[in-house]
Amino acid sequence: PRLAQAIRLMEAHVDQPLTIDAVAKRAGVTARTLESIFRKSIGETPGAYYLRLRLSAARRLVVDTRIAMADIAGRTGFSSAAAFSRAFSRTFGEAPVRLRRG
């Protein structure tokens, strides 16, 4: 239940990401405990999961809409279009603008 609650919190805050401490606190556990739960259940840290969640949401927006990249970056909690593009490229192997063109 703590894992599900943490994931629901992350999904509800894709646009303005919470800190992992805040997620843990709202789920009623410490950050260390939340990290342990995530590693055991999912095999990655809460931070890595949260980033992947945000990037997956961004990828859907890149592929399915014509929303500007800067707006997609904002909607998925990135501080800038450049930070978004770097994280996206690192994860998916190509820049978001190239994916959209392709």
For 55-78, b/e burial (b = at least 16 CB within 10 A) is: bebbbebbeeeeeebeebbbbbbb
- Domain range annotation of the chain: 2-48, 51-101
In this predicted model, what pLDDT tens digit does every residue of 47-83 receive, in sequence order?
Answer: 999 999 999 999 999 999 999 999 999 999 999 999 9
Q: What is the pLDDT of residue 98?
A: 96
CA angle 46, 88, 20 (to 5 degrees): 20
If one looks up domain 51-101 in CATH, what number appears? 1.10.10.60
Torsions phi, psi for 74 (to 5 deg): -65, -40
What is the DSSP-derived secondary structure letter of residue 17?
A: P
Pick the CATH number of 2-48 from 3.40.50.11030, 1.10.10.60, 1.25.10.10, 1.10.240.10: 1.10.10.60
Contact at 8 Å (CB) between 52 and 90?
A: no
pTM: 0.93
Percent of all residues in the chain with a pLDDT value above 90, rounded to a whole number: 99
Distance CA 94, CA 102 (A): 10
